[in-house]
C-alpha cells in the first residue's frame, strides 16, 4: 500500500481588513453603519482610558495590582460586540473593556483589582464569569456552558478568552477536545499578545500559528489581525453565527501585542527588546481605526472631544463609587474560611478586636 498524505478537513484562514498603514481592503470591509462604528470606537477608547486610570491608581497605592490591556483593545471589543446579552462571555484577566461593554459597573472592575472579593461577584443579569487568574482554568467552563446551551436547546453561544500562554495548559486541550467532539456552540478567542509574562510565544508551541491547533480538535480555526477591530469583529461574528446555527465551535487566534508590563509587579525591560515594543506601537489599534473613521466621515475632533468627556465622567463616577465602598474591616480576614470558627481562632479574633479598639482603628459602628 503506498504512503498517502492525509487530507485534513479543518478550515484554517487568515484575516486582515484594515492594515497597519490604515489601508482598508474594500472587498472585505463589513461596511458597518456609522453608529455601530462610533460605538466600537467609544468602547476602544473607554478601554484605553480605563486601563490608564487603573495603572495610575495602582501606582498611587489606591488598588493592589493590575494587569494592563494597552494594545489589546481591538481584540476584546471586536470579539464581544457580536454577542447577544443572553450569550455567555468568559473572561481571562485582561478583558475589563469587554466587561464594560457587557454591562459591568466600572466600580466593580476596580474592586477586583483593589483586592475586594466583591469584585468577583458578577452583577445581576449579566451572563459572564468573574476574572480567572489561574491560567486557562476558565476554558472548561466555556465548553461546559456552551454544552449546557445545546442540551437546553437554546440558541445562545459562549465566548471564552485565553492567552497565548494559556494554550499550553491542559485545561485548554481538554476544553477544545470536548468542544469539538460534542460540537458545542463555543467561540474560543486566543488573545495572542506574544508574551506570557517573560516567556515568548515561540516557547509556547513549535507550531507556526496558534490557530492551526484547531485542526487537532477537528474544528475550524482562523488567525486574525488582533489590532484590526474590523477583522476581529468579522471573524467573531461569523463564528458566533455558525455556533448559533448548530455548526460547532471555532478557534480564533487574534494576533496582538501587550504594549505594557505583564502586571504592575513586572518589569518587561528585563526580558524584551524595546525595539520590539516600538514596532508594535506603530500597530496600535486605536489610531488605525481612528484614521479609518475620519476617512469615512464618522469621526472628527469635536466627536472625539465629546467622547473623552463622557469617558472621563464614567470613570470618575466609577472611581468615586469604589472609594466610597472601601471601608476596610481588618477583622474580615477571619471571616471567610470557616462557617463555624474553631475556638482558637475565635479567641484570636476577640483579641484582635480588642487591640483594634484600643488603637482606635475601628469606626464606632464597627
Ligand atoms: C495555572 C497558573 N500558572 C501560572 C500562573 C502565573 N501566571 C499568571 S499570568 C501568566 C502568563 C499568562 O500568559 P498568557 O496566557 O499569554 O496571558 P497574558 O498574561 O499574556 O494575557 C502566568 C504564568 C497562574 N496565574 N496560573
Ligand atoms: Mg500572552
Neighbours of 75 (CB within 10 A): 35
Report the pLDDT value the prediction gives residue 40, as an integer from 0 to 100.
98
Pairing mode of beta strands 88-90, 199-200: unpaired
Ligand 1 centroid from CA 210, angstroms: 16
**For the chain, how many helices (H) and strands (E)?**
12, 8
Q: What is the pLDDT of residue 332?
A: 84
pLDDT of the residue at 325: 86
Is ligand 1 within 6 A of the CB of residue 226?
no
Segment 160-173 mean pLDDT: 98
Burial of 128 (0-12, 13-18, 19+ CB in 10 A): buried
pTM listed for this prediction? 0.93
Q: Is 134 in the pocket of ligand 1 (CB under 6 A)?
A: yes
Task: Check if 258 has its Cβ closer than 6 Å to any atom of ligand 1.
Answer: yes
The closest ligand to the CA of 161 turns out to be 1
Mean pLDDT, the chain, as a whole number?
96
The helix-helix angle for 34-59 and 285-295 (nearest 10°) equals 150
Q: 297: Cβ–Cβ under 8 A, 6 or more apart, which residues?
A: none
Please indicate whether residue 185, judged by its CB atom, sits closer than 6 Å to ligand 1. Answer: no
* pLDDT for residue 117: 85
Q: Answer yes or no: is the C-beta of 166 below 6 A from any ligand 1 atom.
A: yes
Residue 197 Cα to ligand 1 middle (Å): 7
pLDDT at 336 over 90: no
Residue 89's SS3 state is strand
Residues 6+ apart with CB under 8 A from 321: 105, 106, 107
Mean pLDDT score, 179-206: 98
**What is the predicted pLDDT for the residue at 8?**
85
Mean pLDDT computed over 48-52: 98
Does 197 contact ligand 1 (Cβ within 6 A)?
yes
For ligand 2, the distance from its centroid to the CA atom of residue 272, given in whole angstroms, is 13
Confidence of residue 363 (pLDDT cuts 50, 70, 90): confident
pLDDT for residue 56 is more than 90? yes
Compute the distance from residue 133 Cα to the ligand 2 centre, in Å: 13
> How much of the chain exceeds pLDDT 70, in percent?
99
- CA 61 / ligand 1 centre spacing (Å): 23
| Catalytically annotated residues | 258, 262, 271
Quick one: pLDDT band at residue 188, thresholds 50, 70, 90? very high
State yes or no: pLDDT of 257 exceeds 90: yes
Residue 15, H or E segment: strand 12-15
For the residues 48-74, what does the mean pLDDT come to? 97
- 3-12, 58-67, 164-173, 345-354: segment of lowest average pLDDT: 3-12
Check: CB of residue 217 under 8 Å from CB of residue 250.
no
Quote the CA–CA distance of 128 and 125 in Å, as a whole number: 9
Query: Ligand 1 in contact with 115 (CB < 6 A)?
Result: no
Pocket test for ligand 1, best of 135, 190, 210 (most atoms within 8 A of CB): 135
| Per-residue pLDDT at 295 exceeds 90 | yes
Alpha-carbon distance values, 237 to 229, 234, 244, 293 (Å): 12, 5, 10, 20
Nearest protein CA to atom 21 of ligand 1, as residue:
163
Task: For a ligand 1 pocket test, name from 165, 166, 254, 268 the mutation site with the most ligand atoms within 8 angstroms of its C-beta.
Answer: 165
Residues of the chain above pLDDT 90, percent: 90
pLDDT score for 160: 98
> What is the reported pLDDT for 361?
81
Amino acid at each position: 500500500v503506498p504512503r498517502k498524505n492525509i487530507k485534513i478537513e479543518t478550515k484554517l484562514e487568515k484575516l486582515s481588513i484594515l492594515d497597519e498603514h490604515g489601508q482598508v481592503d474594500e472587498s472585505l470591509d463589513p461596511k458597518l453603519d456609522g453608529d455601530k462604528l462610533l460605538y466600537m470606537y467609544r468602547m476602544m477608547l473607554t478601554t484605553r482610558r480605563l486601563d490608564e486610570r487603573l495603572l495610575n491608581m495602582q501606582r498611587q497605592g489606591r488598588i493592589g495590582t493590575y494587569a494592563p490591556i494597552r494594545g489589546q483593545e481591538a481584540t476584546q471589543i471586536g470579539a464581544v460586540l457580536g454577542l447577544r446579552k443572553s450569550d455567555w462571555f468568559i473572561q481571562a484577566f485582561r478583558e475589563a473593556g469587554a466587561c464594560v461593554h457587557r454591562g459591568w459597573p466600572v466600580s466593580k472592575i476596580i474592586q477586583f483589582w483593589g483586592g475586594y472579593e466583591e469584585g468577583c461577584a458578577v452583577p445581576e443579569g449579566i451572563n459572564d464569569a468573574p476574572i480567572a487568574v489561574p491560567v486557562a482554568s476558565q476554558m472548561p467552563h466555556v465548553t461546559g456552558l456552551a454544552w449546557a446551551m445545546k442540551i437546553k436547546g437554546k440558541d445562545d453561544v459562549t465566548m471564552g478568552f485565553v492567552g497565548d500562554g494559556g494554550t499550553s495548559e491542559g485545561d485548554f486541550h481538554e476544553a477544545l477536545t470536548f468542544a469539538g467532539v460534542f460540537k458545542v456552540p463555543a467561540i474560543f478567542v486566543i488573545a495572542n499578545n506574544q508574551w506570557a509574562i517573560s516567556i515568548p510565544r515561540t516557547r509556547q508551541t513549535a507550531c507556526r500559528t496558534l490557530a492551526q491547533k484547531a485542526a487537532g480538535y477537528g474544528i475550524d480555526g482562523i488567525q486574525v489581525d488582533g489590532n484590526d477591530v474590523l477583522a476581529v469583529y468579522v471573524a467573531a461574528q461569523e463564528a458566533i453565527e455558525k455556533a448559533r446555527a448548530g455548526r460547532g465551535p471555532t478557534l480564533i487566534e487574534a494576533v496582538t501585542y501587550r504594549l505594557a508590563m505583564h502586571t504592575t509587579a513586572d518589569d518587561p525591560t528585563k526580558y524584551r527588546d524595546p525595539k520590539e515594543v516600538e514596532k508594535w506601537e506603530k500597530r496600535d489599534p486605536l489610531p488605525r481605526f481612528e484614521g479609518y473613521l475620519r476617512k469615512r466621515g464618522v469621526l472628527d475632533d469635536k466627536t472625539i472631544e465629546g467622547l473623552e468627556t463622557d469617558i472621563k465622567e464614567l470613570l470618575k463616577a466609577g472611581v468615586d463609587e469604589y472609594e466610597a465602598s472601601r471601608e476596610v474591616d481588618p477583622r474580615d480576614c477571619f471571616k471567610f474560611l470557616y462557617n463555624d470558627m474553631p475556638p482558637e481562632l475565635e479567641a484570636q479574633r476577640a483579641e484582635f478586636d480588642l487591640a483594634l479598639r484600643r488603637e482606635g482603628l475601628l469606626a464606632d459602628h464597627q
